[in-house]
Chain A
């Protein structure tokens, strides 16, 4: 029975429960709605929710927990000597799963009977051939320990699934029955239903926490695995990034961090002056009409997906810069060899961040009280003197916060640097050279053929965690500054 059928049955049960509960409530009041404590539909909702919620809850937990339990049990079955050179339990387990799914597929397509599939003493060579003939994907020949493990995996999974269906359906029926029996005109159905709904609302709100926990845990475990395979000293304090899938990699974050910061600094050098002056003009000088046209137009820049900026950098800005600074370029300087360069990525990222800086600064400048301006203008200061000497100093903390938020965006930006920054990790001060960033390396280590047992892949999780911590720190700090600033004028 597929999952979708199970869900449909649960849903049907809930609908039946709704009508049954409602009519029972009405019956208990002799058909007189006024005698009921709550509106009749609340009795229906009560039965439906009591049937549905615990069952679905258990279903979700079961679906999450079953693979973990099956995996740990089955991987314990594999003897250590079955581990091949350069392999590990994780790899073997994925092979086990592959064989198990292959057996499932072969049984389903009729290439094999269920008894054959369960035969623990089957000839592995013949089995491999049968599976391959049936069109199942295997990366290597089936060996005895793997077959045993795969069969255990299959039996555990299928019995687990059956058990899950039984438990979930039983729970739903029990819930419905319990709520149905309780249904009586004196029963405070509305209060119970509202309590239930409130719990569901709280659950929805908690998803934010679950996501954060998910992010941290998903990266933390793999990072710990990484540090078992690779020295943390090299990661944090080494000087070279040279992944080598044959081993002996040097995986230091520092050159990547350098590239990331260099590009971010260039981006901010573009975005901060332009964004800030644009914000000053819009909030202090522009007439209502200019403001209502220019502001949304600038904000379009923020709504354009980063893939567009990436392509713009790769195909337009990069070649344009090369035609200026490259060999035979307009300036005749031959500084730039390839369109992939720190400058390319930085410039384009700067354009992307202009509206980010300008709208945040605009808000902040507008929060400076009008009395401040009046005070300065009343003393005979010009508008620009007022801005420079009074408004900007007053708005400074907020603007610093805005810049930090922009910096955090720059550091975490992926597409522009993936497409335009290059792939070479090095410490260099030359903006015309290609360099690489943390996000770029995460993408390149995790795409293509990945082996989740090698440090070269796992390093991506350590990079991701570091990136997460850096951006989170910047954000918390920036939001704190901005909030403090707002409070000052409230």
Chain B
């Protein structure tokens, strides 16, 4: 598989929670228009690292990040960077579907509204429809855009959250175990969606399921105890890992 342009480059990233050293010296390059999977046992730091990429860790007082994380060559932890502006470019989908207690329409329109992406109602309608289509949920909800988002099924809610995230036209989409709360059918739908999203965005997905990583990602990073153990082509990681720890995890001996 040929290399694409680097979207995010992380160099020597350290993350501390109070006195705990949660992420140790991580270097990783995330390519544009690629699905990168972070795998590893629970508590290995993969979600923490993911949350560094759009500075969601800022909301936690005791969390401290060192090292560089460059988006398009610009350090996102630079003093001049407004996390609000950053998060508009780096969207995020969470583990548990978290639609706002608003209508489906308002859920999707939320991002465009706060970022001022639509000049008028027609444009906003357009964005909402486009986003819902991209999240492959349009056909299911187009007749009830005014219904509350919380009334959808789990899989629909998660796709609604994805639609909500893509509505702000991000360049990177971070997904933190997006399928862990879903049943197999909904999971399949979301995975299919992730594959389609790859054509427009750089997608980073944290997952517990190695099968899922194998199915949806092109690049895989294996985290263990806060260290990035191995990073490479998904196929290679799963068939021929270099590090014995990766092999142990994949074959089910640790985790």
- The answer to whether any beta carbons of A and B sit under 8 Å apart in the complex is yes
By a beta-carbon cutoff of 8 Å, the part of chain A in contact with chain B is 287-288, 369, 371-382, 385, 389-390, 393-394
Tell whether, in the assembled complex, residue A394 and residue B100 are in contact, meaning their CB atoms are under 8 Å apart. Answer: yes
- CB contacts (< 8 Å) of A379 on chain B: these are 87-88, 91-92, 110-111, 114, 164-165, 168
Q: List 5 A-B contacts (CB under 8 A).
A: A374-B59, A374-B92, A374-B98, A379-B110, A382-B114
Q: Which of A374, A380, A382, A393 touches B94 (beta carbons < 8 Å)?
A: A374
- CB contacts (< 8 Å) of A378 on chain B: these are 54, 56, 87, 91-94, 165, 174
Q: Which residue of chain B has the shortest Cβ distance to A382 in the bound complex? A: B84
Q: Which residue of chain A has the shortest Cβ distance to B86 in the bound complex? A: A380
Q: Which of A374, A382, A393 touches B56 (beta carbons < 8 Å)?
A: A374
Tell whether, in the assembled complex, residue B161 and residue A375 are in contact, meaning their CB atoms are under 8 Å apart. Answer: yes
- CB contacts (< 8 Å) of A382 on chain B: these are 84, 114
B61 interface contact, C-beta 8 A: yes
Q: Which residue of chain B has the shortest Cβ distance to A373 in the bound complex? A: B59
CB of A288, distance to nearest CB on chain B (Å)? 7
A-contact 0/1 string along B76-88, CB 8 Å cutoff: 0000000011111
- CB contacts (< 8 Å) of A288 on chain B: these are 61
CB of B208, distance to nearest CB on chain A (Å)? 18
B24 interface contact, C-beta 8 A: no
Instruction: Identify the interface centre among A375, A379, A382, A393: most chain B CB within 10 Å of its CB.
Output: A379
In the complex, besides A375-B94, A379-B111, A380-B85, 16 extra interface pairs with C-beta distance below 8 angstroms are A371-B94, A371-B98, A372-B100, A374-B59, A375-B161, A377-B56, A378-B54, A378-B87, A378-B165, A378-B174, A379-B92, A379-B114, A379-B168, A381-B111, A385-B114, A393-B100
Main secondary structure of the interface of A (DSSP, over half): helix
Tell whether, in the assembled complex, residue A380 and residue B88 are in contact, meaning their CB atoms are under 8 Å apart. Answer: yes
- CB contacts (< 8 Å) of B85 on chain A: these are 380
- CB contacts (< 8 Å) of A380 on chain B: these are 84-88, 91, 111, 114-115, 168
CB of B206, distance to nearest CB on chain A (Å)? 14
Q: Which residue of chain B has the shortest Cβ distance to A489 in the bound complex? A: B101
B96 interface contact, C-beta 8 A: yes
Q: Which residue of chain B has the shortest Cβ distance to A385 in the bound complex? A: B114
B245 interface contact, C-beta 8 A: no
- CB contacts (< 8 Å) of B99 on chain A: these are 375
CB of B115, distance to nearest CB on chain A (Å)? 6
Which 3 pairs from chain A and chain B are nearest by CB? A378-B92, A380-B87, A380-B88
Alpha-carbon separation in the docked complex, A49 to B235 (Å): 81
A-contact 0/1 string along B31-59, CB 8 Å cutoff: 00000000000000000000000101001
Q: Which residue of chain A has the shortest Cβ distance to B113 in the bound complex? A: A389
- CB contacts (< 8 Å) of A375 on chain B: these are 94, 98-100, 161, 164
Instruction: Identify the interface centre among A375, A381, A394: most chain B CB within 10 Å of its CB.
Output: A375
- CB contacts (< 8 Å) of B114 on chain A: these are 379-382, 385, 389
Tally B residues with Cβ within 8 Å of A.
Answer: 28
- CB contacts (< 8 Å) of B115 on chain A: these are 380
Tell whether, in the assembled complex, residue B101 and residue A394 are in contact, meaning their CB atoms are under 8 Å apart. Answer: yes
A-contact 0/1 string along B111-129, CB 8 Å cutoff: 1001100000000000000
Alpha-carbon separation in the docked complex, A288 to B60 (Å): 12
Tell whether, in the assembled complex, residue B168 and residue A369 are in contact, meaning their CB atoms are under 8 Å apart. Answer: no
Alpha-carbon separation in the docked complex, A377 to B91 (Å): 10
Alpha-carbon separation in the docked complex, A375 to B164 (Å): 9
Tell whether, in the assembled complex, residue A372 and residue B98 are in contact, meaning their CB atoms are under 8 Å apart. Answer: yes
B102 interface contact, C-beta 8 A: yes
- CB contacts (< 8 Å) of B96 on chain A: these are 371
Alpha-carbon separation in the docked complex, A287 to B61 (Å): 8
CB of A385, distance to nearest CB on chain B (Å)? 5
CB of B174, distance to nearest CB on chain A (Å)? 8
CB of B140, distance to nearest CB on chain A (Å)? 20
Q: Which residue of chain B has the shortest Cβ distance to A374 in the bound complex? A: B94
CB of A346, distance to nearest CB on chain B (Å)? 34
A-contact 0/1 string along B157-188, CB 8 Å cutoff: 00001001100100000100000000000000
- CB contacts (< 8 Å) of B54 on chain A: these are 378
Alpha-carbon separation in the docked complex, A390 to B168 (Å): 17
Instruction: Identify the interface centre among B54, B87, B91, B102: most chain A CB within 10 Å of its CB.
Output: B87
Q: Which residue of chain B has the shortest Cβ distance to A288 in the bound complex? A: B61
CB of B179, distance to nearest CB on chain A (Å)? 16
Alpha-carbon separation in the docked complex, A381 to B112 (Å): 10
Tell whether, in the assembled complex, residue A376 and residue B94 are in contact, meaning their CB atoms are under 8 Å apart. Answer: no
- CB contacts (< 8 Å) of B102 on chain A: these are 393
Instruction: Identify the interface centre among B98, B110, B164, B165: most chain A CB within 10 Å of its CB.
Output: B98
- CB contacts (< 8 Å) of B168 on chain A: these are 379-380
- CB contacts (< 8 Å) of A372 on chain B: these are 98, 100
CB of A479, distance to nearest CB on chain B (Å)? 21
- CB contacts (< 8 Å) of A374 on chain B: these are 56, 59, 92, 94, 98
- CB contacts (< 8 Å) of A394 on chain B: these are 100-101
- CB contacts (< 8 Å) of B92 on chain A: these are 374, 378-379
CB of A270, distance to nearest CB on chain B (Å)? 29
CB of B220, distance to nearest CB on chain A (Å)? 23
Tell whether, in the assembled complex, residue A389 and residue B59 are in contact, meaning their CB atoms are under 8 Å apart. Answer: no
Alpha-carbon separation in the docked complex, A287 to B62 (Å): 11
Alpha-carbon separation in the docked complex, A166 to B119 (Å): 92
Tell whether, in the assembled complex, residue A389 and residue B110 are in contact, meaning their CB atoms are under 8 Å apart. Answer: yes
CB of A365, distance to nearest CB on chain B (Å)? 14
CB of B96, distance to nearest CB on chain A (Å)? 5
Alpha-carbon separation in the docked complex, A393 to B7 (Å): 36
Q: Which residue of chain A has the shortest Cβ distance to B164 in the bound complex? A: A379
- CB contacts (< 8 Å) of A371 on chain B: these are 94, 96, 98
CB of A159, distance to nearest CB on chain B (Å)? 71
CB of B130, distance to nearest CB on chain A (Å)? 16
Q: Which residue of chain B has the shortest Cβ distance to A369 in the bound complex? A: B98
- CB contacts (< 8 Å) of A377 on chain B: these are 56, 59, 87
- CB contacts (< 8 Å) of B110 on chain A: these are 376, 379, 381, 389-390
Q: Which residue of chain A has the shortest Cβ distance to B100 in the bound complex? A: A390
Q: Which residue of chain A has the shortest Cβ distance to B161 in the bound complex? A: A375
Alpha-carbon separation in the docked complex, A390 to B61 (Å): 21
